[in-house]
Copies of this chain bind each other. A is one copy, B any other.
């Protein structure tokens, strides 16, 4: 190694300097650094990985989507990985891909990652056979741990958040709350459904039939037309903001005003949520907190193979109340009020002055 020669030391000493190992005199360190600088030297990662058996990289498996939730989580994960001194390797899966998550994990293993993060997975029946292959720690975000020997999970508190969202509507006085669910292949969608159901059960309310969307505003729009025909419906908890926005549009077309006739709660707090019409009440997801906490536990497992994994903690609940929720309208007659064809009523150009106002809870 040229740097060693130029600095007049052994190769191993150079290695020590670059790894911040102890037992290097300040003088020698200086000489080595100087020589390295002069030669434009940089550590060769491949050689390092080969000799040490560790790549200092963490693989990330994500569903290839620009959906706000998954994308935000991934940003958080990348930052957290880098803060831990690791590098990131990414593999996207495509929904419907037969190889799916298992294939992605396999390719990451090929690349020799020291640990794996799986984000926002869907349960398509293709995973589950990872038990034998995976010998590195593996963290699953927003789902139960995979059946692998060194599995961890984080961010499974979605049910709690969904429950809080539902209870916000019940607290406003709504008799019950409808649910516009996400695709049930997604763990996150199932968690939210479950939290909603739990809230209704805890308060002894009737459980209306569930309408399922696919996360998109388009599916929320379709669901909205379906739900609008139910004259008794006064409140909807949508499993994400995009669907809530589509839903609100369909309700408006059907002559049901939000929040006057129907209250709507979303989930995620996407950036435009405060600016749509009306501004959306929604559950804010603590993406960064989940990513950071999960990563801390993953890195701990990587670096302390023997020790017990660190315990998980529940993410905080953070409801942002805006203008899409209100008390239910007064009931007009004991029977079903026929308001499906209610004509457009009055002017509507003075929405509540709350562009970005938000209240936490």
Contacts and interface: CB of A to CB of B under 8 A. Distances in A.
Interface of A: 42-50, 55, 57, 64-66, 68, 71-72, 75, 78-79, 82, 87-92, 94, 107, 109-112, 216-218, 220-221, 242, 245-246, 249-250, 252-253, 255, 257, 271-272, 274-277, 343-351, 353, 355-356
A355 B348 CA distance: 20
24 contacts: A45-B46, A46-B47, A46-B50, A46-B112, A64-B79, A65-B75, A68-B68, A75-B92, A78-B91, A79-B94, A88-B89, A217-B271, A217-B274, A218-B274, A218-B355, A218-B356, A245-B275, A249-B351, A253-B353, A272-B276, A276-B276, A344-B346, A344-B349, A344-B350
A227 to B, nearest CB: 15
A253 to B, nearest CB: 7
A245 B276 contact: yes
Within the oligomer, what is the number of copies of this chain?
Answer: 2
Contacts of A246: 272, 275
Contact of A347 (B89, B242, B343): B343
B112 A92 contact: no
Given A57-B89, A82-B91, 8 more contacts: A44-B112, A49-B49, A88-B91, A242-B271, A246-B275, A257-B349, A343-B347, A348-B349
B92 A90 contact: no
Given A271-B216, A275-B217, A277-B277, A45 B349 contact: no
Given A55-B46, A112-B45, A217-B271, A253 B65 contact: no
Contact of A252 (B72, B82, B90, B349): B349
Contacts of A46: 45-50, 55, 112
Contacts of A75: 64-66, 92
Nearest 6 A-B pairs (CB), nearest first?
A344-B347, A344-B349, A46-B49, A217-B275, A46-B50, A66-B71
A245 B65 CA distance: 22
Contacts of A220: 275
Q: Which of A42, A65, A79, A257 has the most CB of B within 10 A?
A: A42
Contacts of A43: 110
Contacts of A88: 89-91
Given A89-B89, A91-B88, A345 B347 contact: yes
Contacts of A344: 346-350
Contacts of A68: 66, 68
A356 B245 CA distance: 13
A110 B82 CA distance: 14
Given A78-B64, A90-B88, A345-B347, A42 B110 contact: yes
A91 B79 CA distance: 8
